[in-house]
């Protein structure tokens, strides 16, 4: 049986570990990632673009 595939194209803003990993990767605070998810949606590319704009 296969396990569930993880969707790496999305950032789950409600999942602390996802927010923490993205914050570490981008070199910003967890709050900055949460704000980016809230304004840009949960698409990883859009979140990263939003963080780069700030």
Each residue's pLDDT tens digit, 2-31 = 556 677 899 999 999 999 999 999 999 999
| Cα–Cα distance measured from residue 49 to residue 40, given in angstroms and rounded to the nearest whole number | 9
| Cα–Cα distance measured from residue 33 to residue 30, given in angstroms and rounded to the nearest whole number | 5
The model carries a pTM of 0.84
* Mean pLDDT on 24-41: 97
CB contact at 8 A, 23 and 30: yes
Per-residue model confidence (pLDDT) at position 31? 97
Per-residue model confidence (pLDDT) at position 2? 59
Per-residue model confidence (pLDDT) at position 43? 96
């Amino acid at each position: 049986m296969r396990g569930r595939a993880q969707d790496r194209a999305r950032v789950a803003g409600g999942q602390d570990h996802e927010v923490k990993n993205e914050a570490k990767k981008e070199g910003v605070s967890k709050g900055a990632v949460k704000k980016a998810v809230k304004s840009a949606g949960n698409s990883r590319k859009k979140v990263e673009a939003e963080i780069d704009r700030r």
